[in-house]
Amino acid sequence: MDKEGNVVRQHTFPYNKESIKAFLFGISNAEIEIAIEACGIWRGVYKVLKELGYKVKLANPNKTHDIACRKKTDKVDSRILADLLRANYLPEVYIPDEEMLRLRDITRHKSNLTRLRVEIQVKIKGYLLRKGVKYGKIWNEKALSKLAEDDPDIKNLINVYWSLREEEKEVMRRIRKIAMNMRKANLLMSMPGIGEFSSLMILAEIGDIRRFESPKQLISYAGLCPGIYQSGSTERNVRNNAVNKWLKWIVYECSGRATMLDSRFQEYYYKIKQRKGFKTARRAVARKMLTIIWYMLTNEEPYRNN
């Protein structure tokens, strides 16, 4: 699309370097900006376009779809993206550097392995319940070996469980090695409730702390405060889905452990819990932790309980 909004070239092509080069053939990389949606393959496309020397911006798909009046076709999407980019109204998404992307990959990979392992554990328990088998503490080698001997079907699930456990341990070894040699990770680990894995995930999901001008912006990014809908005299809280769900999850998990390890968080937790319940109290502790994390990373100082 040119500066006047006229479509110059529009085509569907396969996702590979040769097809992208063919589509852009004849257009100087100094004369063009490219907008792509933050979909499942954006990183591969982004890498190819950057290697070819093009300036690339990443767009928020939810906001662009709302602007397109929920009419969803590739043709409409491409035109909307080009038009928003031309008018300088593109709802951009932050693109982390390569180091942060690698941290995101390894921490999300570890989390996904853990979720798969827990899913297998649930299936093993469900299988035992269907068979009418009573079980207690079964997540040890002796108990699982006995179950595998008694039932060849459950043996398959147990083998998958042990395989996932070993893969988790291998990934955690890599995570510990990275965390122990990273200054910012060690700063975060000075806060009760944050370990090697959680420190790396928090760093990876936040990226550059300087893009958040205040703790409130960071809390909003994590989705730990409700959105507000206001029209005239009507005002209500609404759920904000355009948040970093990984950051929200890991800080919420850390908040539970922090309330057990640190008197500062413990007192704050019980104060809120008495008035509004444990869920609201956990979120409040998570918000307090993120506020402190913002100051720790901004000032590059360790945690101080005062």
| Choice between 276 and 65, residue whose per-residue pLDDT is larger | 276
**Among 88-92, 125-129, 298-302, which stretch is predicted with the lowest mean pLDDT?**
125-129
Q: What is the 3-state secondary structure (H, E, C) of the chain?
A: CCCCCCCCCCCCCCCCHHHHHHHCCCCCCCCCEEEEECCCCHHHHHHHHHHCCCEEEEECHHHHHHHCCCCCCHHHHHHHHHHHHHCCCCCECCCCCHHHHHHHHHHHHHHHHHHHHHHHHHHHHHHHHHCCCCCCCCCCHHHHHHHHHHCHHHHHHHHHHHHHHHHHHHHHHHHHHHHHCCHHHHHHHCCCCCCHHHHHHHHHHHCCHHHCCCHHHHHHHHCCCCEEEEECCEEEEECCCCCCHHHHHHHHHHHHHHHHHCHHHHHHHHHHHHHHCHHHHHHHHHHHHHHHHHHHHHHCCCCCCC
pLDDT tens, residue by residue, 184-212: 999 999 999 999 999 999 999 999 999 99
The pLDDT mean for the chain works out to 88
Domain boundaries of the chain, sorted by first residue = 17-86, 98-181, 196-299
In the prediction, which pLDDT does 67 show? 74
pLDDT tens, residue by residue, 132-158: 877 778 888 888 888 888 778 888 988
Q: What is the pTM for the complete model shown?
A: 0.86
pLDDT tens, residue by residue, 63-103: 887 776 666 788 888 898 999 999 998 988 888 989 999 99
Confidence of residue 60 (pLDDT cuts 50, 70, 90): confident
| Choice between 66 and 108, residue whose per-residue pLDDT is larger | 108
Confidence of residue 177 (pLDDT cuts 50, 70, 90): very high
**Among 196-205, 217-226, 228-237, which stretch is predicted with the lowest mean pLDDT?**
228-237
In the prediction, which pLDDT does 116 show? 96
Q: Is the pLDDT of residue 270 over 80?
A: yes
Quick one: average pLDDT of 33-58?
A: 89
In the prediction, which pLDDT does 188 show? 96
Distance CA 19, CA 29 (A): 16
Quick one: average pLDDT of 103-118?
A: 96
In the prediction, which pLDDT does 135 show? 74
